[in-house]
Amino acid sequence: MPEVWNLSAEQAKSVLTYRGVPFRVVLQHSTNIEEGRLISVAPRPGTPLGPGDEAILTVSSGPPQVAAQLPWVSRTC
């Protein structure tokens, strides 16, 4: 597994594609990690990958969206 930590998700995908490493991307909300940055990589860099193995890139989709609660308003004419 190549070293892709501290790269953006796009950069990491480019490195893995160039090296011929199959991968999949999992999106996860994060309030600490900027959208589009890696949260985690599996397996750890330096781990050999066997036939059929794939890397898993967990990528921040930013903080969760919270629906705004609007107050109920009575309309009288």
Q: pLDDT, tens digit, for every residue of 10-47?
A: 999 999 999 999 999 999 999 999 999 999 999 988 88
Closest C-alpha to 57, from 20, 18, 21, 31:
21
Q: Are strands 38-42 and 23-28 parallel, antiparallel or unpaired?
A: unpaired
pLDDT range class, residue 77, cuts 50, 70, 90: low
DSSP one-letter code for 20: T
- Give counts: helices (H), strands (E), the chain: 1, 3
Domain spans, the chain: 1-45+55-63
CATH number of this structure's domain 1-45+55-63: 3.30.10.20
